[in-house]
């Protein structure tokens, strides 16, 4: 059986659907999970979808992905702008990494313009709402097939 694609979500994403819907939309994280699972199935893959508000737990999951995942989609949320530790954990991976954001960080506050995750990601998808997650799944699948 093929390894799953890990889809890891950082802090506050558990509040999607109610938190700043003008920025993040009305879709819940569970609705996004369902969309990711459906898109992965079309590619013959499964996803392991997780969310945490804790930086250390997110890093533990990244480390787990080293052996357990075929590829990684990550929405690090605020940790993308602040966590050198997350950056360092991601650097240990030898699988495709796609960074995904619902909003477009480049069109927001200046502190969101830098991402430690982007520095090690295979690609970045942002500003496309929940559809961005589906595109990230497809991208990871394509990168897995070409490696």
For residue 125, what are the CA distances in angstroms to 3, 60, 64, 97, 134? Answer: 23, 23, 23, 11, 10
Question: Is residue 101 annotated as a catalytic residue, yes or no?
Answer: yes
Active site residue 79: no
Instruction: Enumerate residues 6+ apart whose C-beta is below 8 A from 86.
Output: 55, 58, 59, 62, 76, 79, 80, 116, 117
Instruction: Please identify which of the residues 24, 79, 116, 133 carries the catalytic annotation.
Output: 24
Annotated catalytic residue within 79, 87, 101, 116: 101
Cα dist from 78 to 1, 83, 121, whole Å? 34, 9, 16
Catalytic residue numbers read 24, 101
């Amino acid at each position: 059986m093929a390894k799953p694609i890990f889809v890891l979500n950082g802090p506050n994403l558990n509040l999607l659907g109610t938190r700043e819907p003008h920025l993040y939309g009305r879709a819940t994280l569970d609705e996004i999970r369902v969309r990711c699972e459906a898109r992965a199935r079309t590619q013959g893959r499964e996803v392991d979808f997780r969310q945490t508000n804790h930086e250390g737990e997110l890093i533990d999951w990244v480390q787990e992905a080293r052996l357990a995942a075929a590829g990684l989609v990550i929405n690090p949320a605020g940790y993308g702008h602040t966590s050198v530790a997350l950056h360092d954990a991601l650097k240990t991976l030898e699988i495709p990494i796609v960074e995904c954001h619902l909003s477009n960080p480049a069109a927001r506050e200046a502190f969101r313009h830098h991402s430690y995750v982007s520095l090690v990601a295979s690609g970045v998808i942002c500003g496309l709402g929940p559809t961005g997650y589906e595109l990230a799944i497809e991208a990871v699948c394509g990168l897995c097939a070409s490696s």
